[in-house]
Amino acid sequence: MIAKKIFLAIASSTFTLALSPVGSGTWTSVSPSFSVQECAGGSVSGDTFTLPTSPNGSTSGAGCSNGHLRAERRYNNDYTSGIHQFGGEFTITSLTGDRIALKQTFNGSTGPYFIMGIKSTGDIYDVEGGATIASGVAKVGSTVQINTVHDANKQTYVVYVNGNESFTTSAPGGSFYDKCGAYTSDSGSGAITVTWSNVEFWTQ
C-alpha cells in the first residue's frame, strides 16, 4: 500500500497528465502548430497570458487592428468540415479586470464565431449571446477544464466545463480555427494573468 502511494506520487509529478476527449465516437489526437498574438500591451510567456489594465494605444501586430488587449495563441487547426474538439485547463492566477475572453473559435472569413469569456464574479459566459455557461467556477486559483466540440457537419457547438456538458449552440457554415489565451471583449477590461495547460486537439 505504501509502495503504491509512493509510485503514484512520483508518476504524477514526473508526467503531464493528459486530458481525455469528451463526447461520443472515436477521437484522433492532432497537434496543430500555433502563432502568438500580443496586442496593446498583452504578453505571452510560455503558457501564461497576461493583460495589463488598459491598452497602450498600439494597433500594430497580427490581430491588433482593433486596439483591444490581446495575449493569445492562434492555432493553425483550420477546418471547414468534420468534428473538432479542443481541450485544456485554465487557471486564473490574478484578476482585477472583467469580461475577458479566454477561448475563441473564429470563422476564418468574418471574425469570432464563438467567444467564451469570464466575469469578475467567476462566471463563464457566451460573449456573443450573453448566456451564462457556468456560474462562479472561474475563481482566482481554481483550475477549470474546458472542452469544446464543434461538429461542422451538423453545425452544432457544445461547451463542457469540468467534463459537464454546459452549453450548446448552433454554428454557421464556414472555415474555422481555435484561439486561447486572454482578450478583452468590447465591454471588458484588464488586468488578468491566466495559464492554459494540457491544451489538446482531437478530430473525427
Ligand X SMILES: *[C@@H]1O[C@H](CO)[C@@H](O)[C@H](O)[C@H]1NC(C)=O
Residues of the shown chain interacting with ligand X in the complex, contacts defined by CB under 6 A: 38-43, 56-58, 61, 107, 109-110, 113, 162-164, 172-175
Question: What's the min distance (Å) between Cβ of 38 and ligand X?
Answer: 4
Question: What's the min distance (Å) between Cβ of 70 and ligand X?
Answer: 7
Nearer to ligand X, 66 or 110 (CB): 110
Q: Which grid coordinates are listed for 76? A: 493553425
Question: What's the min distance (Å) between Cβ of 141 and ligand X?
Answer: 17
Nearer to ligand X, 39 or 199 (CB): 39
State whether residue 204 is helix, strand or coil: coil
Rg, Å, the chain Cα set? 17
- As a whole number of angstroms, the distance between CA 159 and CA 116 comes to 9
Q: Which grid coordinates are listed for 2? A: 505504501
Query: In a 10 Å sphere around its CB, with 0-12 CB exposed, 13-18 middle and 19+ buried, how is residue 84 labelled?
Result: buried
Residues 3/175, Cβ–Cβ less than 8 Å: no
Nearest CA among 161, 180, 66 for reference residue 114: 180
Nearer to ligand X, 13 or 170 (CB): 170
Q: Which grid coordinates are listed for 193? A: 494573468
Nearer to ligand X, 28 or 80 (CB): 80
Q: Which grid coordinates are listed for 158? A: 457544445
Nearer to ligand X, 22 or 40 (CB): 40
- As a whole number of angstroms, the distance between CA 73 and CA 62 comes to 11
- As a whole number of angstroms, the distance between CA 100 and CA 143 comes to 16
Question: What's the min distance (Å) between Cβ of 132 and ligand X?
Answer: 13
Question: What's the min distance (Å) between Cβ of 101 and ligand X?
Answer: 16
Question: What's the min distance (Å) between Cβ of 2 and ligand X?
Answer: 30
Nearer to ligand X, 162 or 203 (CB): 162
